[in-house]
Structure 1
Amino acid sequence: MSTTTTARPAPTGRHAGSRRRIATTVGILFVAQMVMAMVGTSLTEAFVDGAVDRDQMTLGVLLMMGSGLAVIAIGLLMYPVLKDVNPHLAVWYPVLRIAEFSVSAACGIYLLAQSEVVPNHMLWIYVPTGLGGIVLTYLLLVSGLVPRAIALLGLVGYVALTVGVPLDLLGVLDMGAGPGLLLVVPGGLFELVFLPAWLLIKGFRTVHAPQSRPTGAIHPAIR
């Protein structure tokens, strides 16, 4: 698979307005999906830990479903932006976000049907979350669509999340408690705070296509 990145001419007029609306919508959706996921997870975990209110558990599953739908919307909205950077790699972002929703939905349906959770269900959700996040943040980093520091925070966070899954499965750490939580924090800050704040306030940066440059020169979008 080619990983060549390209920069397109600066968007103008209607296209620029569309990109601004996408940035705003994606920023809102990132916050919404995180809030729904956190509340939904707490409600389902309370049921698993002994709470007898099945209605709260059902609400938790529905919130997780809502979070998953928001995740799909983010993937679909970001694709036309990311494909201008690398169309071959960008397609994997919505694909992995759909996979994330599918795993989450399957775990939720199982919980409703059996009144028990799928073993290590959060870890299975983390797999497409981490891989999709790596695709997103890599493309954000090389394109300069958001500040480098924000993209790097997300990349580090998603790599940590992905690496943490096998470590958790092997019993080396617990990503749900203690030091293992540190592997979840960077990605959480990226999704809940830094990326949404930038997109809501500033939107995507404009990446200009270079007119000409000598062979071997570094592309301005990846300096």
Structure 2
Amino acid sequence: MNNRYFADATGEGVANDQKTARTFGVLFIVTFLTSIPAALLLQPVLNDPAGYLTGAGQGTQIRLAVFLEFLLIIANVGTAVVLYPIARRRSKILAIGYVAARIIECVFIAAGILFMLGLVSLHHDSPGSTDLALMLAALKDWTFLLGPGLVVPLGNGLILGYLMYSSGLVPRRMTWLGMIGGPLLLVGNLGVLFGLWQPTAAAGLFVAPEFLWELLLGMYAALWGLRCAAPVVAGSER
């Protein structure tokens, strides 16, 4: 099988690709800096939505978490859009698949944001609607399970992991964390979906490989860029 190299594999083209790669890495790190604090801020409210509704309220805390999740949406989509010009040279199908997965994930995150803002409105306008507050909190939990819980293992784990493995854009040993961690996390969250275990059960085992994969990928790309000048197999853009 014949190999061909990028037309821009030297000079300014490589420099531009490395800037793009580092931007991808920074955006990936931003997803950690927004999603984790947002989850920590929302957890007390999700644990006791009725208490939030009838108490003094944590409106500012929820609004801050919502803002962080809005930034998370921007960063998520940014990782896919920024990577696409480089990734499509290796596999157009995988590149499009990663963009699609990120968009689907962000739709669920946006829905969760709306449910949290609805909870804030209830606190102001109808503090006695505890049943509705419980429902909104439950819906937020479901959006997290369906979006970051089920879509991320496919998009960031399997699709992105295999794309990086097959292209050699990052060290291949690192990509196994994604290709193993993605299915592992998917199994863990499917178990939650079908009521086989609680979300907290064996959370570290299911989450750890995928978490490490995304963290290492972001740090590697931000610090060293990607191996953009590696050869591309002919026909990979189809």
With the length of structure 1 as denominator, give the TM-score of the two structures.
0.84
Q: 1:210 to 1:90 in 2, by over 3 A?
A: closer
The structure whose RCO (Cα within 8 Å, separation 6+) is larger is: 2
Q: What runs of 5+ residues in structure 2 fail to find an aligned partner? A: 120-132
1:53 to 36, 58, 72: 58
What residue ranges of structure 1 are gaps of 5+ in the alignment? 1-5, 212-223
CA distance in 2, matches of 1:199, 1:13: 19
Q: Does 1:28 align with 2:26?
A: yes
Structure-to-structure mapping, 1:104-183, within 5 angstroms: 104-114=109-119, 115=133, 116-117=136-137, 118=139, 119-125=141-147, 126-133=149-156, 134-175=158-199, 177-183=200-206
Using the TM superposition, give the Cα deviation of residue 163 of structure 1 relative to its aligned residue in structure 2, in angstroms. Answer: 2.1
RMSD value over aligned CA atoms? 2.0
Q: Amino acid of the residue matched to residue 82 of structure 2? A: L
Summarize the Cα distance change of 1:7–1:77 in structure 2 as closer, same or farther, 3 Å threshold. farther
In structure 2, the CA distance between the partners of 1:209 and 1:158, relative to structure 1 (3 Å rule), is closer
Q: Which amino acid is 2:15 matched to?
A: G
Determine if the alignment matches structure 1 residue 202 to structure 2 residue 207: no
Is the CA contact 1:157–1:184 (under 8 Å) kept in the aligned structure 2?
Answer: yes
Deviation at 1:16, TM superposition (A): 0.4
Instruction: Check the 8 A contact 1:65/1:101 in 2, yes or no.
Output: no
Structure 1 residues 58 and 19: alpha-carbon distance in aligned structure 2, compared to 1, 3 A threshold: same
Distance 1:110 1:178 in 2: 25
Deviation at 1:170, TM superposition (A): 1.8
Superposed CA offset, 1:118-159 (max 9, x none): 142321112221221121110100111100111111221222
Asked which structure has the greater CA Rg, the reply is 2
Q: Percent identity?
A: 26
From the superposition, tell whether residues 204 and 38 of structure 1 become closer, same or farther in structure 2 (CA, over 3 Å): same
Which residue of structure 1 lines up, in the alignment, with residue 209 of structure 2?
A: 186
Q: Distance in 2 between matches of 1:97 and 1:37?
A: 14
- The TM-score with structure 2 as length reference comes to 0.79
Equivalent AA in structure 1 for residue 10 of structure 2: T
1:75 is aligned to 2:80: yes
Change (3 A) 1:209 1:111: closer
Give the CA deviation at 1:210: 7.5
Contact kept? 1:72, 1:98, Cα under 8 Å? yes
Gap change, CA 1:171 and 1:84, over 3 Å in 2: same
Partner Cα distance (1:74, 1:7) in 2: 26
Higher helix share: 2
